[in-house]
Structure 1
Amino acid sequence: MARDIVIWPHKVLNSPTKPVTDFGPSLQKLLEEMAESMKEAEGIGIAANQVGESLRVALVSREDGTSFEIVNPRLLEKKEPVSLEEGCLSVPREWEKCPRFHKVKVRFQDRAGEWHELEAEGRLAHILQHEIDHLDGHVFVEHLSSLKRTLILDRMKKYQKAKVRHEKREG
């Protein structure tokens, strides 16, 4: 079952997540729920804290539309600075140029706890950086100027109020 996406500036998005130590059924269930949430929201990546779980796990989409999990990821290398248009499920309808790197090397575990290293570039490198930022307690708007960040924060507060009003009418 899909979970609701947490909207910034919710505190769960601004705190580093806890390492995953239990690779049992609860992690598998969380990964399924995250996949459903990402699909429902038409996203290309999602971190556990975006569905309210402060765990160091995210899903990342490949170019072919499939996705894979990254558990306890660490960025080992970043090369070739680039500025890319970026959005976020937790900051709906906002898109801004964000400083990232064209190439990255990441070490992570899969759902069974096995370790992997991955060198990525382009879109995949971009998504990996975005999701690992989430797991470190950062949202892409933190890379923007304080003026842009403040404007987006105001819009997110209005979005939240409108969402609550809509839910009250529906309920």
Structure 2
Amino acid sequence: MARDIVIWPHKVLTSPTKPVTDFGPSLQKLLEEMAESMKEAEGIGIAANQVGEPLRVALVGREDGTSFEIVNPQMLEKKEPVTMEEGCLSVPREWEKCPRFHRVKVRYQDKTGEWHELEAEGRLAHVLQHEIDHLDGHVFVDHLSSLKRSLILGRMQKLQKAKARQKS
């Protein structure tokens, strides 16, 4: 069952997440709910804190439409700065140019707790950086100018109020 996606600047999105220590059924259930939420929102990645869980786990979309989980990821290397157009499920309908890196190297665990290292470039490197930022308590708007960030903040606060009115 899909969960609601949390809208920035909610506190769960601006605080670092906690490491995953339980690789049992509760993690599997969370990953399934995250996958449903990502699919429903037509996203290419999602972090646990975007569905309200402050855990260090994310789903990363590949170019072929599949995705894989990264648990307790660590960014090992970033190379070749680039600027890329970026959006976010937690900052809906907002797209801005964001500084990133073309190549990255990441160490992470899978849903069973096994460790992996991955070197990625292009879109996959972009999605990895975006999702790991979420797990560190950052949203892509943190990379923007204060003016752009404040304009987007105003729109997100209006959206949060509208959603709250719909629920009541």
Fold shared by both chains (TM-score > 0.5):
yes
Whether 1:17 aligns to 2:7 is: no
Which residue pairs with 2:3 in the alignment?
3
Q: Give the Å deviation of 1:163.
A: 1.8
The 3-state SS of whatever aligns with 1:27 is helix
Aligned residue in 2 for 1:163: 163
Point out where structure 1 has 5 or more consecutive residues left out of the alignment.
none
> How well do the aligned residues superpose, as a CA RMSD in angstroms?
0.6
SS at match of 1:126: helix
1:95 partner amino acid: W
Match of 2:127 in 1: 127
CA distance in 2, matches of 1:54, 1:90: 14
Shift of 1:167: 3.2
Return the offset for 1:107: 0.2
Looking at structure 2, the residues matched to 37 and 107 of structure 1 have their Cα atoms a distance apart, in angstroms, of: 25
CA distance in structure 2 between the partners assigned to 1:53 and 1:5 by the alignment: 11
- Quote how far apart the aligned CAs of 1:3 are: 0.3
Aligned to 1:118: 118
Q: Which residue of 2 aligns with 1:34?
A: 34
Q: How many residues align?
A: 168
TM-score by length of 2: 0.99
- State the distance in 1 between where 2:164 and 2:14 align: 22
Report the Cα distance in structure 2 between the residues aligned to 1:91 and 1:140, rounded to whole angstroms: 9
Provide the rounded CA distance (Å) in 1 between the counterparts of 2:167 and 2:55: 28
The separation in 2 between residues aligned to 1:134 and 1:55, in whole angstroms, is 10
**Residue 166 of structure 1: how far off its partner (Å):** 2.9
Aligned counterpart, 1:78: 78
Other-structure match for 2:152? 152
Give the secondary-structure state (helix, strand or coil) at the position aligned to 2:132.
helix
What's the counterpart of residue 46 of structure 1? 46
Deviating 4+ runs (over 4 angstroms): none
Q: What SS is found at the alignment partner of 2:22?
A: coil
One-letter code aligned to 1:162? A
Cα-to-partner distance string for 1:80-100 (whole Å, 9 max, x where unaligned): 000000000000000000000
Distance between the aligned counterparts of 1:16 and 1:164, measured in 2?
A: 25
Residue 165 of structure 1 deviates from its aligned partner by 2.5
Q: Aligned with 2:161: secondary structure?
A: helix
**Amino acid aligned to 1:45:** G
Tell me which residue corresponds to 2:60: 60
